[in-house]
Structure 1
Amino acid sequence: MTPQNIPFIPHDAPFTHDQRAWLNGFLAGLFSNASAAQTMPESAGLEVAVYFATQSGTAERLAKKFSKELKDAGHTATVASLSDVHPAQLAQQAHAVFFVSTYGDGEPPDHAKNFREALMLDSAPALGSLRYAVFALGDRNYEQFCAFGTELDERLIALGAQRIVSRVESDVDVDEPFAAWTPTCMIALKRSSDKAPAEARTVAISSSSKSAPLYSRENPYHAQIVERRALTASASGKLTMHLALQLGEALSYEAGDACGVVACNDPSLVDETLSLLAISADELVDVPKAGKSTVRDALLHHYQHTRLTRKIVQAFAERTECKVLSALLPAEQSAHLDAFLYGRGLIDLLQEYPGAIDTAETLFAMLPRLSPRLYSISSSPAKHGSELHCTIGVVKYRSHHRERGGVASTMLAERIGAKESVPVYIQPNKKFRLPADSNAPIIMIGPGTGIAPFRSFLHEREALGHKGRNWLFFGERSAQTDFLYCHELRSMSESSHLTRLDTAFSRDQEHKIYVQDRMLEQGETFWRWLQEDARVYVCGDASRMAQDVDAALHALIEKHGAMSADAAREYVSRMHDDNRYHRDVY
């Protein structure tokens, strides 16, 4: 039986979103099982569902790579986003492997939130037939490291599923842990198959693969800078920069993708750090995936030391037996630890506790790897051809008597010459694409540098002759100093390509105004656009802006749609399911 022949519950059926998802999952499992029983030979390998929850694409990449390993070993593997899965489907399966990221304050990626909510319900199905493994991805610079992966693992156990191999919690450098874990998981899957119920079958949802790109974070393309200019006025309290790079035919991208910049630390900071260490700058060390490197080169290119982490503080506390540092480490002191970490780097502890770090092995064991910085691309391939544009907020501030700066942003703004090259790669963002229907209206909400992908969208739609209406909400501090791309946006407004432009400049009046306030002011029109099948896109800060915008969206739907709070939540949930609500937040 083909996927097209599997019955499903239509959207207009008299069920809630959760009821409809459960029924669709049950039908998919039931009819997929019947098909598998008719066609699957006794000698076939295992059927394994490989699921991913990703914010930047890494978890999806690993899921597809693991799926290929399964197929090469003679198994049947299906790859699916958790946005397409309901827990009821897991109850129909024998084997599943999860690759899940954590972002923000321990949250799952946006597209996995509905799955998480359904899994945590008291009504979630028993999963006694499921054998599974979890590969959790996170960033040790954040307190809630791999929180979603941990929560998922513990909830599956609580629902009766059986873990076949210990959970992996990987830092941002995922490839080495993945390579070490894969054969272990493959063996565990094979051993578990003897105990798996014969009738349990995997529900095939989607499967796709793509050849590895020529250029990647491990092998970046060196793109020449062709333009670099300030978008903010000199009187502004911050610098936002427009950067244009020449790609030629080496790399291609789509509107909505991100540009990965492989940055290096400030050489002067590295030299000052080395002056506080009793370690030779020329001593050779082994850097995973990079081979032999000098200590100086490792500090320059491979390790993050401009920000403190719990692990660094713990290492200093243990080596100095400092009670002040040790007192920050208990879980109940997390707020005090966060306050201590903010605005400090390794160099601050080296100055305060001289001699605490005396070997290269100790130094690099506590430092996280230096990760590439992802910037939303603000150019359009249809409009700008082989050029790639980024909109970059340059991070510079003074803290604890020292000038500080963002590793990548200061490198791009100050440490690379005007005609030098930048090591880059393309990070696809398939969850943040223009609608396939060129006539569909779109609403874009992007304060600050969150405007980047929407500049790309606007130029792309204009260059391709799309007729869909475009509405942009943009916010910043002041119209006089921080109105990014103001001339372009005003020109698009005058030509009516930008149908509506609503701005919120927080400091241009006595009471601060933000984009979510403008949304509520225009709530009636916003709701009318939603009724006309508008797609909503949000880009920017995850910790506050995205949450406030989401709350405003719920509020205006509740008010102007004459709905209860529960009905408004159901409406937004359907927007997610129907690919009408997209968020690229960080």
Structure 2
Amino acid sequence: MELNRTNSPFDENQLELIKQLMPTLSSDQQSWLSGYLLNTSTGEGDLNQYTDDHAEPSEHLSEKTEPTESTASTETATSEAPQTDTTATSTDEPLEVNILFGTETGNAEEIADEFETKLKEHDITVHTWEMDDFPQEDLTKVNHVFIITSTHGVGEPPINALDFYDFLHGDEAPDLSHLNFSVLALGDQDYPDFCQAGKDFDKILGDLGGNRLADRVECDFDFEETSEQWIIDMLELLTQISSGNQNEEPIDEDVIVEEPQAPYSKTHPFFAEVVENSVLTEPTATREVRHLELSLDGYGESYEPGDSLVIVPKNNPVLVEELIDTLGWDSTSSITIDNSDQTVSLQNALTNEFEISKLTPSILNNAAALFGNPMLNANVQKKEWVQNYIYGRDFIDLIKDFTPVSLTPDMLKDLLRKLPPREYSIASSNQVNPHTVHITVRVVKYEAHHRERQGVCSVQLADRTQTGDKIPVYLKKNPNFKFPYNNHTPVIMIGAGTGIAPYRAFLQEREHLQLRGNQWLIFGNQNYDADFLYRSDLESWLEKGIISKLDLAFSRDTENKIYVQHRIEENGADFYKWLRNGATVYLCGDKDEMAKGVHQSLVNVLVQHGDFTQAQAEDYLTELIKNQRYQRDVY
């Protein structure tokens, strides 16, 4: 916000002096000055005491907002340093904060709930909203807003943030020069539109005049540590603003970090025994698919159809050995895997901690900075080259193709990202299977660049996991993929391959509840005889009336490949009739090919059978998404 006579109490001479001073100040100096002025205004401005008591928290906050090349990064959407506008809040009244979250899978909501709990523990009044539930007209009345959002699709905001996003980018968006805000963005660096929704919210709030309390913080898939630190930083900042008192005790970070979290998570998984591990497909299938059942005895929580089971995997020991040999390192040497002093063996780190089986653009950029290889430095400047190179290659390829001039084991934490957990849609009803959870796993194996490539978790489950073994897991809720349990809501389920999993759970539960009604499944795979997954279950449910309509698409059984999107258009009149009768549409499967093809087929059905224009059809589907009548679980 640029100071002038209309938005400040200063005369022209004072404004000129301020404008000369501000560009010369660092972020730390601005933070110090704002706190000092606030204390002075309340008659408590002891310069020496403020410096002694608050230098360390101020330095800590500044350090955490510096851009990094790790899984978390921070940056501002403008060239100005963030400024804290403390004048908008009276120190005589409790601070009031609004947390707005946008989520697809529940991660942003989980962080928002944790942030709310911490704020309330410090007597800060807090209101937490799904973004689209926040009253838009109240945006001009609130002073502190925190945005926590994931990114969906091709850089799009989540379903429950679409209306708020459109409002801020519309002609009716208000002036927000009174508003203090900060953004925590969630994303996955595997995708080119990493944290784009968070970037967009950060930019538009700044463009509308809002004042950044702190730089935007971006989280990769492994968000827990970064989000916890962001909460600590925001709480410390808000506590300073709220009290206006230099004698306020600094936040005890150790206490905050060590407070109880969810019972089971990536860092504290449940070790589930494998009670069944069988092959669903025939030997002639081009892609092997496994059915696993794991015991949840002692877990203490239930799950619902639509939820996921998350597995914490290990890298293939053969790949680990090959990488160590390629690097010429000692597998028993000790290294640190993060910024703590804790050390593990190199073998342990490459097996359990770091992702080594695939490359991302961020890894190539990190390698360019650390390898000292001139050719790699030149190539990473070309975005198209980066995208082409990472496809089907791993860390061993990178080492062989661009020999590092200097690389030591301790550099791995700055080079590689953490090994991601793998999520699998649950394929069972907890009511039918109270002690076990079922998942459907496609085993990933393929040839690329003269080497066999393998999926980290799927091959571990298929080739190195036996009945009786215990593997680290935890349950994950999916609030945006939930099914109706009644006899009057029509449901259309669309899935291909392992996308059948959540529908098996849903139909299993409907049979248990003795529910009937209009339930239409459109399922596809390659061959009827080789990979008709859960065929006996589906045919039984069709016979019993649990499923009222079943359409199949087996792409390799016909000369012209038939996919689920073709079945949608072939049944376009019925499909549109079901929509008109209030049907909810579910889509589960491949994100890139199938999901895009299905979406276009839905548009085509609306155009052909509903007399929509292309634009009207897209708007109609967007409304279905917002009203949770078009739910997607794609990967």
- Shorter-chain TM-score range: 0.7 to 0.9
Q: CA deviation at 1:455?
A: 0.8
Out of 415, 424, 428, which is 2:477 matched to? 428
Partner SS, residue 550 of structure 2:
strand
State which drifts further: 552-561 or 252-261: 552-561
1:408/1:517 CA distance change after superposition, 3 Å: same
Out of 262, 269, 278, which is 2:319 matched to? 269
Q: CA deviation at 1:297?
A: 0.5
Q: How far apart in 1 are the matches of 2:390 and 2:127?
A: 42
Aligned to 2:356: 305
8 A contact 1:165–1:188 mirrored in 2: no
Gaps of 5+ in 2: 1-89, 245-259
Aligned to 1:141: 190
Aligned to 2:395: 346
Out of 111, 115, 120, which is 2:164 matched to? 115
Out of 538, 543, 546, which is 1:489 matched to? 538
1:427/1:583 CA distance change after superposition, 3 Å: same
TM-score normalised to structure 1 length: 0.84
User: Which one-letter code corresponds to 1:490 in the other structure?
Assistant: E
> Which runs of structure 2 are paired with 1:27-426 in the superposition (5 Å)?
44-85=93-134, 87-189=136-238, 212-250=261-299, 251-288=301-338, 291-319=342-370, 321-330=372-381, 333-354=382-403, 356-426=405-475
1:120/1:349 CA distance change after superposition, 3 Å: same
Q: Percent identity?
A: 37
Q: How far apart in 1 are the matches of 2:442 and 2:313?
A: 15
Q: CA deviation at 1:345?
A: 0.9
Partner SS, residue 422 of structure 1:
strand
Partner SS, residue 327 of structure 1:
helix
Q: Does 1:581 align with 2:630?
A: yes
Deviations 1:114-136 (A, max 9, x none): 43344333443333332110011
Q: CA deviation at 1:383?
A: 1.8
Q: CA deviation at 1:574?
A: 3.3
8 A contact 1:128–1:161 mirrored in 2: yes
Q: How far apart in 2 are the matches of 1:315 and 1:128?
A: 38
1:398/1:568 CA distance change after superposition, 3 Å: closer
Count residues in correspondence: 530
1:313/1:574 CA distance change after superposition, 3 Å: closer
Q: CA deviation at 1:534?
A: 1.5
Q: How far apart in 2 are the matches of 1:517 and 1:82?
A: 36
Q: How far apart in 1 are the matches of 2:384 and 2:202?
A: 26
State which drifts further: 295-304 or 468-477: 468-477
Out of 502, 506, 529, which is 2:578 matched to? 529
8 A contact 2:588–2:633 mirrored in 1: yes
Q: How far apart in 1 are the matches of 2:167 and 2:594?
A: 25
User: Which one-letter code corresponds to 2:327 in the other structure?
Assistant: L
Q: CA deviation at 1:44?
A: 4.4
8 A contact 1:83–1:577 mirrored in 2: no
Q: CA deviation at 1:566?
A: 4.5
User: Which one-letter code corresponds to 1:439 in the other structure?
Assistant: H
8 A contact 2:309–2:476 mirrored in 1: yes
Q: CA deviation at 1:166?
A: 0.6
1:517/1:102 CA distance change after superposition, 3 Å: same
> Which runs of structure 2 are paired with 1:434-583 in the superposition (5 Å)?
434-435=483-484, 437-583=486-632
Q: How far apart in 1 are the matches of 2:279 and 2:322?
A: 30
TM-score normalised to structure 2 length: 0.78
Deviations 1:71-100 (A, max 9, x none): 111112122223434755433422111111
1:42/1:189 CA distance change after superposition, 3 Å: closer
User: Which one-letter code corresponds to 2:343 in the other structure?
Assistant: K
User: Which one-letter code corresponds to 2:383 in the other structure?
Assistant: S
Q: CA deviation at 1:144?
A: 2.5
Q: CA deviation at 1:224?
A: 1.1
8 A contact 2:312–2:472 mirrored in 1: yes
Partner SS, residue 557 of structure 2:
coil
State which drifts further: 63-72 or 225-234: 225-234
Q: How far apart in 2 are the matches of 1:356 and 1:109?
A: 43
Partner SS, residue 507 of structure 1:
helix
User: Which one-letter code corresponds to 1:261 in the other structure?
Assistant: I
1:304/1:87 CA distance change after superposition, 3 Å: farther
Q: CA deviation at 1:193?
A: 6.7
User: Which one-letter code corresponds to 1:487 in the other structure?
Assistant: S
Q: CA deviation at 1:246?
A: 1.3
How well do the aligned residues superpose, as a CA RMSD in angstroms?
Answer: 2.5
8 A contact 1:493–1:500 mirrored in 2: yes
Q: How far apart in 2 are the matches of 1:426 and 1:83?
A: 27
User: Which one-letter code corresponds to 2:556 in the other structure?
Assistant: R
8 A contact 2:311–2:423 mirrored in 1: yes
Q: How far apart in 1 are the matches of 2:634 and 2:596?
A: 10
Q: CA deviation at 1:514?
A: 1.8
Deviations 1:463-516 (A, max 9, x none): 112233211111112222221111211121122211111112222222222212
User: Which one-letter code corresponds to 2:309 in the other structure?
Assistant: C
Q: CA deviation at 1:429?
A: 0.8
State which drifts further: 78-87 or 496-505: 78-87
Q: How far apart in 1 are the matches of 2:487 and 2:128?
A: 29
- Bigger radius of gyration: 2
8 A contact 2:371–2:403 mirrored in 1: no
Deviations 1:22-79 (A, max 9, x none): xxxxxxxxxxxxxxxxxxx995422211122223322211111111111111112122
User: Which one-letter code corresponds to 1:281 in the other structure?
Assistant: S
Q: How far apart in 2 are the matches of 1:407 and 1:264?
A: 7
